[in-house]
Amino acid sequence: MMHLTKQEERVLAGEEGYGRRKAMELVVALGDIYGAKRLIPIASAQVSGASFKTIGDAGIKFLEDFSREAKVSVRATLNPLGLDERRWQSMGIDKGFFDKQARIISAYRSMGVELLYTCTPYLAGNRPKRGQHVAWAESSATVFSNSYLGAMTNREGGPSALAAAVIGKTAEYGLHLDENRLPRIRIDVKEIPDGMIPLVGYLVGKLAGKRVPLVDGLRLSRDEHKSFGAAMAATGAVSMYTFSDSASRSRADTSQVEERITIDGSDVRACADGLRGDDAWDLVAIGCPHCSPSELKSMAKILKNRTPSKESDVWFCTSRRVFASCPKEVAVLRRFGKVLCDTCMVVAPIENWYKHTASDSGKAMVYLPTLGKQKASFRPTSQLLEAISR
In the chain, what is the greatest distance between 2 CA atoms, to the nearest angstrom?
A: 67
**Segment interacting with ligand F3S, rule: CB under 6 A, options 178-186, 199-207, 248-256, 342-350:** 342-350
Candidates 232, 322, 346, 365: give the one binding ligand F3S (CB under 6 A).
346
Least distance from C-beta 265 to ligand F3S, angstroms? 26
- The number of residues that bind ligand F3S (CB under 6 A) is 14
Least distance from C-beta 228 to ligand F3S, angstroms? 12
Residue type, position 26, single letter? L
Q: Report the SS3 class of residue 53.
A: helix
Which lies closer to ligand F3S via its Cβ, residue 367 or residue 378? 367
Which lies closer to ligand F3S via its Cβ, residue 214 or residue 230? 230
Which lies closer to ligand F3S via its Cβ, residue 142 or residue 154? 142
Which lies closer to ligand F3S via its Cβ, residue 39 or residue 344? 344
DSSP 83: S
Q: Does 47 bind ligand F3S (CB under 6 A)?
A: no
Ranges within 203-262 binding ligand F3S (CB under 6 A): 230
Half-sphere exposure of 142 (CA within 13 A, CB side): 25
Q: Does 289 bind ligand F3S (CB under 6 A)?
A: yes
For residue 354, give the nearest of 310, 307, 315 by alpha carbon.
315
| Positive or negative torsion for Cα 339, 343, 347, 348 | negative
What does each C-alpha distance from 142 to 24, 121, 338 come to in angstroms?
22, 11, 28
Q: Can you tell me the distance from the alpha carbon of 140 to that of 288, in angstroms, rounded to the nearest whole number?
A: 9
**Segment interacting with ligand F3S, rule: CB under 6 A, options 158-166, 246-254, 293-301, 344-352:** 344-352
For residue 148, give the nearest of 247, 232, 243 by alpha carbon.
247
Candidates 30, 189, 347, 388: give the one binding ligand F3S (CB under 6 A).
347
Q: Can you tell me the distance from the alpha carbon of 275 to that of 233, in angstroms, rounded to the nearest whole number?
A: 17
Q: Which residues bind ligand F3S (CB under 6 A)?
A: 79-80, 119, 140, 230, 288-290, 317, 344, 346-347, 363, 367
